[in-house]
Structure 1
Amino acid sequence: MTITMEDRTTYEELKAVVLDFLKNGLGTGNRPIYIAGESFGGILALDVASAILAEQKKKKIDADLGINLRGLVLINPATCYDRSQLAIVGPKVATMPSIFYVLSLLSQLVPLFTDKFSFQQLLLILQAKALPSVIDNPLREAYMGRVAISLPTKLEFMPSSTLSWRLEEWLEKGCAALGESSFSFRDFRSLIVVGENDKTLPSIAEAERLASKVMSTTKTQIHVVDDAGHASTCGSRLDLAAVIRNRFPELQKNTVTSKRISMKPQAMQGVGINFGMEERYDKADIGLNPFLYWSKNNYLPVQPKKEERSIRVQGNEHLISYKKTVYNVAD
C-alpha cells in the first residue's frame, strides 16, 4: 500500500488494512509470519500483532485466522510518543506560518532524526571509500544505487497539514489506543531494536518498559545499536537481518545459501575511520557506477499488477478501499 502526502487514512483504517492484507494478501497455506515495524510502524505492528494473538487465543488454532504469527520485531517503536521530544517539537512546527514552516522542519525536526555519523557515512559512500557492511556484492550495491538514485523522484515534500494529521491521527491516537488496550504477549517471542542516541523518542527506556510491562523479559530480546540515532538505527551501524536470524533461529534453517548471523568484525566495532562501515567489497578506488545498476547481471525488471480490495472498518459504516501491488518478473 502506498501512502501519499494527501492521504487522510485514520489509524483504525490503517490497522484494518494491514490485518486484511495479512489475512487475504499472502496467498494460501500456513506460512510463518514475522511482523516488523519501525517508529510509527512499531505502534501499528504491536497493535496488529496483539489483535492476531487475541483472535488466536479465542479460536485456539492459527488456521482459523490464516495468520501463522511467529515473531514480532519493533525498531525504535513510537509507543512512547506521548513521552517524546517529537510530541513537544512536532505540533509546534506543524502550526508554524508557511513562511517559517520549512525552516522549522530543517532546524528543529531534522536534527531529532540524525546522529553524529550520518554525514560522515554518506560522504564515505559518495567517495567510494566504504559501504554498509551488508552491501558486499555487486547485486546489493546495484539495489542500493537504484534506490538512492530514484529517491528524488519519489520523495514528496510534507506540507504542514500532513504533518499535523500524522502526529495527531496516527502517532497520538495510535499511542493512546495501545494505552487503552490489554496485551497478551507474555508467551510470545519479540525483538526490540533501539538506537542508543535516539533524540526523537526515549527508545531505550521504552524498550525496557515494553519488555517488563507488556511483554516478557524472558521472551523479549533488546538490541541497542551503539551511538545510533532514530533514523539511522537500521542504517550502516546494524545488520538487521543477522540480528533477526539470531533472535528467531528457525530463520537460519532450510536455506539454499548461507545466511548472515552476525555483523562483520570492523562494522561490529562501530568505530574507526569508516564509522561502522566496511571498505568496498571489491577494493575499487572508483565505485558507484550507475551504468551497472541496471545491467542485466544486476537487475531484473518487474511488472506491477495492482489489485483493489474493499473492507469494512470496525465502527465505520462505510467501506474503504486500498490497492495491493504484486510484482512479477517481466518477460
Structure 2
Amino acid sequence: MSLLINNLESGFNYEGLVKFVEETIRLEHASSPNKPIYLVGDSFGGCLSLAVAARNPTIDLVLILVNSASSIERSQLQPLFPILEAIPDELHTAIPYLLSFVMGDPTKMAMVNIESRLPPSLKLTQLSRNLIALLPCLSSLADIIPRATLLWKLKLLKSAAAYANSRLHAVKAEVLVLASGKDNMVPSRDEAQRLMSSLQNCTVRHFNDNGHTLLLEDGINLLTVIKGTCKYRRSRKRDYVSDFLPPSMSELKYTCDEVFGLLRLATGSVMFSTLEDGKIVKGLAGVPHEGPVLIVGYHNLMGLELNSLIEEFLREKNIMVRGAAHPELFWGKSSSLATFDWHKVFGAVPVTAKNLFKLLSSKSHVLLYPGGAREALHFKGEEYKLFWPNKPEFVRMAAQFGATIVPFAAVGEDDLLELVFDYNDLKKIPMISDYIKESNRDAIRLRDETSGEVGNTDLFLPGVLPKLPGRYYYLFGKPIVTKGKKEFLKDKENANKLYLEIQSDIENSLAYLLKKREEDPYRSVTDRTAYRAMYSPIHGVPTFEP
C-alpha cells in the first residue's frame, strides 16, 4: 500500500487516496463478496486503512495496522516539525538520512535472511556486507525525498491522522494492531492501547525490540503473526478447524531453534508408547497413525509438556496434533496472550464441543486435557494429581466417530521448576489478589459449578523458579478402540466406567514414569550435554529400559 501511495502522491490529496483505495476494495468485494479483504496499513497506511474501513462498514475487512501514524500529533518528533519547515534547502540533505535512523534499526534490517545457525564469525561477515550495501541507500534518500515532498508528506500525515481519528467510532472491521517498543517516530505502544479501547474488535501485539519499520526488520513474518492471532479466515465466519494453515518449514525451524530452543535442550524429552499387546517401546509406534485419535492426558504445570509433544509427533510420525485449548487464549483481549500465539500456529483450537466434533469428523489427532487449567495451574503439593470433571465429557464424543482414545502421562515439571507462589499464596497479596479478580471478571468459563473444582478455576500466572533441569518423560498408554461401540457407550454407566478406566490408566502411567526415571543415567542436563557432545544429537541420548 505504501508503494501505491508514493506513486500517486503528486496527483492526489488525502481524500483522493482514500477514494482510490476504496474503489479498489469495492471492486474486489464485488468479485468475491463472501471472502474477507486484508488491508495492511504501515504507518501512514494505518490512517488510510482506518478511513477506508470507516467509510465501508458493510464490507468484510481485516485491518493490519503496523505502527499506525494515527498518533502523529503525539509523536516524539513533534517539536522538530516546525524546524523542518524552516530549515534552508542547503541543509535539507541531512534530514532524510537522520530520519532513516529514527524510523528503524539498520542493524535489524541488515540481519534479514542471515541464517541463524551460522557460526558467529560468518554472521558478522554477512552483517557487515549487508550494512555496507544498505548505507548508500539511506544516504540517497535526500534525492528521493526533496524538501517540498517531505513538507507535503508531513501535511498529508497530519490530515490523515485527524481524518482517521474522527471516524474511529464508525470502524466495524476486525483490527490487528502491531506496535513496536522502540518506535522513535510515533508512540506506537500507547497508540495500540488507545486503539484497542476505541475500536469494537481490536487485537494488539507488541514487538518490544523493534523500531518503526517493523516489517523490514529481521525475525518478523507477517503471515506467522496473522496465523498466531487467528486472523486468517476464508469466509466471513472463522472456522478454527478448516481455516488452519499447517506451519511451514521455516516456522517449524524458527520455533524449535529460537522460540523453544532452550526449553527443548533443557527437557531432553523422551517418548514411550504401548503396543496393542501391552509392550512398552521407546518412540511413538504404539500411537495409531490413522485418525481419528483422541489423545487424553494430564496437564503439567503451565503446560510445559506441550512443545516437545507436538514437535515429536511432527518429527517421528509427520502428524499435526491439534490441541484443544482454553478459549480465553483465543477470545481474550489481553496483549500478553501473545505468549501462546505459537500454539495457535501449531494447530490449537478453542476447546468447544463443536470444534471437537469437526476435528474428529476430519479424522484428526486431537489433544485433550479434561483437567484443563485446574491441572496446569495446580497448587503446591498437587504435582501429578488429576483434577477431572464429574462427567465423561469426551468418551461418547469419541465413540460417535469411532475414534481411538490414547491415554498419556508426562512427568518432569518438578525437575524443571519450583512452584514458589501458587493461587493461595497470590490471593494473600492485596494488589495481586485484586489484579487476579479483575482480570478474571469477564474471563470465559468452560464449566459451571456442577463440574466440581475444575469448573471454578481462575486464570493466573504462578510464581516459579527454575531448577537445574532434569528430563521430561512421556508414556502413551495402550490404545482404546471405540469403533463399533457407539450404542454401547451411549449408556451413561458404560461411558463412565470407561472414563474411570482411562483416568486410572493415566495415574498408573504417571506412577510408572516417576519410578522408572530414577533409573535414567542421563536424567540430569549435565550428563545429557556431555553425552551429546561426544556421541549423539538430542534425540539419540539413551534413557532407562522400559
Q: Same fold (TM over 0.5)?
A: yes
**Structure 2 vs 1, CA of residues 7 and 130 (structure 1 numbering), >3 Å: closer, same or farther?**
farther
Provide the residue aligned with 2:23 in structure 1: 20
- SS of equivalent residue, structure 1 residue 242: helix
Q: Secondary structure at the match of 1:178?
A: helix
How do 1:21-170 residues align onto structure 2 when only pairs under 5 Å count?
A: 21-24=24-27, 28-30=31-33, 31-53=35-57, 56=58, 67=59, 69-107=60-98, 109-115=99-105, 118-119=106-107, 122=110, 129-130=115-116, 157-168=144-155, 170=156
Report the counterpart of residue 297 of structure 1 in structure 2. Answer: none
| Aligned positions of 1:226-237 closer than 5 A | 226-237=208-219
Give the Å deviation of 1:50: 1.0
Q: In the TM superposition, what whole-angstrom CA distance separates every residue of 1:55-100 from its partner, at most 9, and x where no partner exists?
A: x2xxxxxxxxxx4x14221110000001102433345234421211
The change in CA–CA distance for 1:171 and 1:189 in structure 2 (over 3 A counts) is same
Q: Say if 1:112 and 1:120 are closer, same or farther in 2 by CA, change over 3 A.
A: closer
In structure 2, what is the equivalent of residue 193 of structure 1? Answer: 178
Q: Secondary structure at the match of 2:12?
A: coil
**Is 2:162 the counterpart of 1:180?**
no
Larger Rg: 2
**Secondary structure of 2:16's aligned partner:** helix
CA distance in 2, matches of 1:12, 1:96: 29
* Residues 124 and 228 (structure 1), Cα distance of their counterparts in 2 relative to 1, 3 Å cut: closer
**Alpha-carbon distance in 1 for matches of 2:82, 2:215:** 24
Question: Quick check: 1:195–1:228 contact (8 Å CA) kept in 2?
Answer: yes
Shift of 1:171: 0.7
Q: 1:267 to 1:43 in 2, by over 3 A?
A: farther
The alpha carbon displacement at 1:2 in A equals 6.1
Q: Aligned pair in 2 of structure 1 residues 177, 124: CA closer, same or farther (>3 Å)?
A: closer
Question: Is 2:199 aligned against 1:215?
Answer: yes
CA shift, 1:267, in A, is 4.5
Query: 2:233 matched to 1:250?
Result: yes
Q: Of 182, 185, 188, which residue of structure 2 is paired with 1:203?
A: 188
Per-residue displacement from partner, 1:125-153 (whole Å, max 9, x unpaired)?
Answer: 5xx5559xxxxxxxxxxxxxxxx9xx89x
Partners of 2:225 and 2:153 in 1: CA distance: 30
Query: Does structure 2 retain, via aligned residues, the 8 Å contact 1:91–1:167?
Result: no
The Cα of 1:182 is off from its aligned counterpart by: 5.3
Q: Which amino acid aligns with 1:244?
A: I
Counterpart residue type for residue 226 of structure 1: N
Runs ≥4 residues deviating over 6 A? none
Q: Distance in 2 between the 1:228 and 1:32 partners?
A: 29
The verdict on how the C-alpha distance between 1:205 and 1:233 changes in structure 2, with shifts beyond 3 A counting, is farther
How far apart in 2 are the matches of 1:104 and 1:230?
Answer: 17
| 3-state SS of 2:163 partner | helix
Q: Judging by fraction of residues, say which structure has more helix.
A: 2
Distance 1:174 1:207, change over 3 A: same
Cα distance change of structure 1 residues 225 and 268 upon mapping to structure 2, 3 Å threshold? farther
Q: Which stretch has the larger CA shift, 235-244 or 72-81?
A: 235-244
5+ residue gaps, structure 1? 57-66, 132-147, 271-331
CA offsets 1:225-260 (integer angstroms, 9 cap, x no match): 121010135521322111112332535866897345
1:11 Cα deviation after fit: 0.5
- Structure with the greater relative contact order (CA < 8 A, sep ≥ 6): 1 or 2? 1
- SS of alignment partner, residue 174 of structure 1: helix
Q: Do the aligned partners of residues 269 and 105 (structure 1) sit closer, same or farther apart at CA in structure 2, a change above 3 Å counting?
A: farther
Q: Deviations over 1:149-172 (max 9, x none)?
A: xx89x986100101111110x211
**What TM-score do the two structures reach when normalised by structure 1?**
0.59
Helix, strand or coil at the partner of 2:213: coil
Alpha-carbon distance in 2 for matches of 1:41, 1:6: 13
1:5–1:158: 8 Å Cα contact kept in structure 2? no
User: What is the percentage of aligned positions where both structures have the same residue?
Assistant: 24
The alignment covers a number of residue pairs equal to: 229
Q: Distance in 2 between matches of 1:74 and 1:221?
A: 10
User: Within 2, Cα distance between the matches of 1:22 and 1:6?
Assistant: 19
Does the C-alpha gap of structure 1 residues 110 and 27 become closer, same or farther in structure 2, counting only changes over 3 Å?
A: same
Distance 1:268-1:92 versus aligned 2 partners, 3 A rule: farther
Q: TM-score if structure 2 supplies the norm length?
A: 0.37
Q: Which amino acid aligns with 1:92?
A: I
Match of 1:224 among 206, 216, 226: 206
Q: Specify whether residues 90 and 49 from structure 1 end up closer, same or farther in structure 2 by C-alpha distance, changes over 3 A only.
A: same
Change in 2 beyond 3 A, CA 1:102/1:253: farther
Secondary structure class of the residue paired with 2:53: helix
Distance 1:257 1:240 in 2: 14
In structure 1, distance between residues paired with 2:152 and 2:29? 30
Say if 1:82 and 1:172, in contact at 8 Å, map to a contact too: yes
Aligned partner letter, 1:200: M
Q: In the alignment, is the contact (CA less than 8 A) between 1:113 and 1:230 conserved in 2?
A: yes
**2:1 maps to 1:10:** no
Per-residue Cα deviation, 1:276-320 (whole angstroms, up to 9, x for no partner): xxxxxxxxxxxxxxxxxxxxxxxxxxxxxxxxxxxxxxxxxxxxx
Matched residue SS, 1:34: strand
The 1-side partners of 2:44 and 2:81 are apart by 14
Aligned residues of 1:36 and 1:45 also touching (Cα < 8 A):
yes
Tell me by how many angstroms 1:29 deviates.
2.9
Partner amino acid for 2:175? S
Q: Within 1, Cα distance between the matches of 2:168 and 2:95?
A: 38
RMSD: 3.5
Secondary structure class of the residue paired with 1:244: helix
Q: Secondary structure at the match of 1:228?
A: coil
